Amino acid sequence: MDFSFTPEQDMLRDSLGKLLAQTYSFDQRQALLKSGAARSEPVWQALGEMGLLALPFAESDGGLGGQPSDLVACGLVMGRHLVAEPWLASVLLGGKALALGGARAQPLLADVIAGNAQVALAHEERHGIGPVTAMGTTLTLNGDAVQLDGEKKLVLGGAEANALIVSARAGDKLALVRVDPSAPGVAVTGYSMIDGRRAATVRFEHVIIPAAQVMRDDAEAALDAVIENALLTLSAEAVGAMGALLEMTGSYAATRKQFGVPIGSFQAMAHRLADMKIAWAKAQALLLYTTALIEAGQASPRDVALLKAQMGRLGRAVGESAVQVHGGIGMTDELAVGHYLKRLLAIEAMLGSTDYHLRRVGAR
């Protein structure tokens, strides 16, 4: 199966790359993270003007009707520039989950697309992602309303969200409910992940919610599709980050001298660089192949699980090798290399670890 980006997608990648090169340098990124801000307002506004906030949504929802390959094109560039903006959290996860609510979700969804509001998907729990029967968060009837109880982990953008889209077990089905983070019984604890992105742990204790805020009472298949696109985009970020590390490490090995010659001329170092390039090439090939399968409607859950598992393994291998080639300086906060490794490790842990997705591969 063949896959290549369209001229329009190449233009999108080029435009996004130029924008981030001008507004999201490593130093600018570090200053943003140290400030504690959840996002760069100028960059977020620029992403909206480029159409990225509307890209994944259907035209009937006010979006651009983008395809999975459009998300991959953007994810590659985002990963290359270590972008910590809440595009994945608020648009691809929270926003797409919100869109499952139909007409009732339209006012808030319009604000998300305009860049004026953020929403977060609260889905992962203590053991990550699992079947409905293993979900600890429950939704039960309470008079004319419903009651939400449980705890969600690794809620991307949860502390900054205007609304939470929460998955919960309702009998033997998966329900989606919209929750106000300031509602009684909701406790949000925000923190920064190792790669600079914001996340939160959210606890729900006897939270009473109007029945009208239950978006769907049988949402498992629809939510799986949302997560599939997010996993694809995360994998694209990983490939973009690996590519950037490969270039940085090759350049360093060509200029750093030991015993009067570049360290890249030593056979052991040349083999390490070759292994990095092979790992990146494998990751890129698998990403494009899986993208083609998804767009052709031929991808199975096993294909997506295999992609995420391989991104975890290959990303870790490339990131660790890059740090080792750089030596001690590769572990310093002032050099970008270590931050790329942190991003790759964070991606490995998000939306199901490598071990979790390998179990999915083996089970099918």
Read off the pLDDT of residues 282-306 as tens digits, 9 standing for 90 and up.
999 999 999 999 999 999 999 999 9
**DSSP-derived pairing of the beta strands 119-122 and 163-170:** parallel
Domain count, the chain: 3
Query: Cα separation of 334 and 220, whole Å?
Result: 43
| Residues of the chain under the 50 pLDDT cut | none
Domain endpoint, select from 83, 114, 145: 114
Segments forming the whole domain that contains residue 307: 221-363
Amino acid 130: pLDDT: 66
Does a structural domain hold residue 2? no
Are 247 and 183 contained in the same domain?
A: no
Residues 86 and 161 in one domain: no
Note whether residue 268 is domain-resident: yes
Q: CATH number of the domain at 82, please.
A: 1.10.540.10
pLDDT digits (tens, 9 = 90+) for 61-108: 999 999 999 999 999 999 999 999 999 999 999 999 999 998 889 999
Has residue 327 been placed in a domain?
Answer: yes
Task: Determine the pLDDT at residue 92.
Answer: 98
In-domain check, residue 48 = yes
Residue 307 lies in a domain: yes
User: In whole angstroms, what is the distance from residue 59 CA to residue 173 CA?
Assistant: 29
pLDDT of residue 200: 97
Q: What's the pLDDT at 262?
A: 78
pLDDT at res. 128: 65
Within a domain: residue 1? no
